[in-house]
Every structure is written in C-alpha cells, then in structure tokens.
C-alpha cells in the first residue's frame, strides 16, 4: 500500500511538471470548485470512482445534467478487482466515454476530480498499464471532438461520488441506468449543487 501511494504521488508530480504545450485539444486542466452549467446545447457529465478494498470492488458513477441543471440521466457500474487509484479513475473515464458514445451524445463537458488522469491525457506517451488506458481515453476523445474533458475539485463532484459509492452495493452486471429522474440516494447532493447555480 505504501509503495502504491508513493507511486501515485510520483506519477502525479511527474504529470503536473510536464510541459502542456502538446495538450490534447479537448482537455481543460482546471475549473471552479462549484457546479456551473455547461454551454447551451451541451450536457455536463460528472464521473467518479469509489473503491472497496475489503471486497475487491470498484464502483463507478456518472450523472448527466443539462445547461439548466436538470438531471437527464445517471448511471452506475461495478467492476470486480482492485487497481491503483489512478488506474481506477482512468478506467472510469474510459467507461464513461464509451457510455457517451453508446447514447449518441456528442456535445459533452465531462468532469472528473482525477487530476492525474486529466494531466496524463494532456501529456500522453505513458508506456505503462496506466498509459494504455490513457491511450484509450485519447482515442475516444479523437472520435468525440466536441467532448471537453475537464478536471474539477472534489467538492464539485459530490453527486458522482455518491453514485460511485452506491454502486458498490449494486450486485448486477453491466451498467444500471436511470433516465429523466433523480435516484433518491443522490437527490440531496444534486439539490445542493443546484442551489449553487444562482449564487
């Protein structure tokens, strides 16, 4: 665990020290700590991961909202196994991008609180298992030119984290989807987010 934590810190420092001159055009490194609407005509999707080390599970959550803050859909998924934190976060981004493609959405602001992942997508050329996942994310983004991949602070990602934690209790396979309504277990965090729209 100590070695994994030190490796995570090392990779984070390395990713943040790289020159962003070769940045991927659809990646935006930083944004505000509170929820703000996407541009008109865009949806915003927040993503996150939660990890259960005791049961060797990773839970993923995604929440889709329009420019008015209205929830258009949520999804959660569970994957058996435990990866490093940065790999788990990268897998979540990759799976969310696949979900976006499956639903036929093209104008998306995709937000994650995984700075290591967004930095790695900007820099690229990481020849590790983590780097292979990053390459898949970059490939998805090339086929989704209007998707903006954005880093946000954890405080702005509470609804997605709530979904990811709930996913750990989901025993089914595949992706559990809810469209056009808010599941009760995430409604309170969405309400807090929504109140920030008019601050």
- pLDDT, position 157: 86
Q: What is the distance between the alpha carbons of residues 195 and 55, in angstroms, rounded to a whole number?
A: 36
Residue predicted with more confidence, 163 or 7: 163
Q: Give the dihedral sign, CA 95/134/108/61.
A: positive
- pLDDT, position 57: 93
Domain total for the chain? 1
Predicted confidence (pLDDT) per residue in 16-35, tens digit: 444 333 334 466 555 555 67
Size of the chain, expressed as the number of residues it contains: 199
Which H or E run includes 188? Answer: helix 184-195
Which residue range is the domain that position 39 belongs to?
2-198
Please compute the mean of the pLDDT values over residues 36-61 and round it to a whole number: 93
- Of 69-73, 94-98, 171-175, which has the strongest mean pLDDT? 94-98
- What is the layout of strands, in order, in the sheet containing 43-52? 27-28, 147-151, 108-112, 43-52, 57-65, 71-80, 175-179
Q: What single-letter DSSP state applies at residue 54?
A: T
Residue predicted with more confidence, 183 or 20: 183
CB atoms inside a 10 Å sphere around CB 82: 17
Q: What is the CATH number of the domain that holds 118?
A: 3.30.420.10
Which H or E run includes 50? Answer: strand 43-52
* Residues near 133 by beta carbon (within 8 Å), at least 6 away in sequence: 87, 90, 91, 94
Q: What is the distance between the alpha carbons of residues 94 and 99, in angstroms, rounded to a whole number?
A: 9
- pLDDT, position 155: 83
- pLDDT, position 179: 86
Taking the alpha carbons at both ends of the chain, their separation in whole angstroms is: 41
Residue predicted with more confidence, 117 or 1: 117
For the entire predicted model, the pTM comes to 0.77
> 101: burial class by Cβ within 10 Å (0-12, 13-18, 19+)?
middle
Please compute the mean of the pLDDT values over residues 38-66 and round it to a whole number: 93
Instruction: Say yes or no to pLDDT of 4 above 70.
Output: no
């Amino acid at each position: 665990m100590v070695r994994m934590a030190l490796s995570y810190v090392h990779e984070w420092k390395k990713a943040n020290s790289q020159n962003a001159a070769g940045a991927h055009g659809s990646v935006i490194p930083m944004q505000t700590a509170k929820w703000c609407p996407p541009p008109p005509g865009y949806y915003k999707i927040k993503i996150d991961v939660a990890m259960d080390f005791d049961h060797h599970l990773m839970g993923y959550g995604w929440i889709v909202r329009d420019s008015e803050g209205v929830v258009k859909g949520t999804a959660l998924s569970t994957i058996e196994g435990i990866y490093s934190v940065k790999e788990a976060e990268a897998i979540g981004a990759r799976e969310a991008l696949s979900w976006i493609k499956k639903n036929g959405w093209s104008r998306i602001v995709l937000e994650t609180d995984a700075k290591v992942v967004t930095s790695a997508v900007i820099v690229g050329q990481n020849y590790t298992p983590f780097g292979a996942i990053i390459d898949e994310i970059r490939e998805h983004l090339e086929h989704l030119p209007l998707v903006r991949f954005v880093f946000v602070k954890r405080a702005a990602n509470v609804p997605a984290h709530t979904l990811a934690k709930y996913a750990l209790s989901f025993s089914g396979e595949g992706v559990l989807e809810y469209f056009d309504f808010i599941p009760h277990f995430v409604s309170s965090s969405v309400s807090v987010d929504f109140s920030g729209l008019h601050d």
